[in-house]
Amino acid sequence: MAGERALFKFLKPGQRLQPADVQAAAMWGVAATTGALWLIQPFDWLKKTFLEKPESD
């Protein structure tokens, strides 16, 4: 753990990674994942509607 802190020693204290920054990044990741899952959810309907050929009689 001490090595991780040394990695950010060159930054000013105000510019170092803060817990709020990590939380914000995690929340944006959750939001992006949720949005992506919502976006691709109707794929089966799109496949049936636009990609499958109708049966010939």
Domain locations along the chain: 1-49
CB of 31 closer than 8 Å to CB of 40 = no
Judge whether residue 1 has pLDDT over 70. Answer: no
DSSP H or E stretch at residue 17: none
Task: Considering only residues 51 and 43, tell me which one the structure prediction assigns the higher pLDDT.
Answer: 51
Over residues 7-23, the pLDDT tens digits come to: 667 767 777 788 899 99
| Predicted local confidence at residue 25, as pLDDT | 95
pTM confidence score: 0.51
The number of CA neighbours under 13 Å toward the Cβ of 16 is: 12
Vertex 53: Cα angle to 52 and 57 (nearest 5): 140
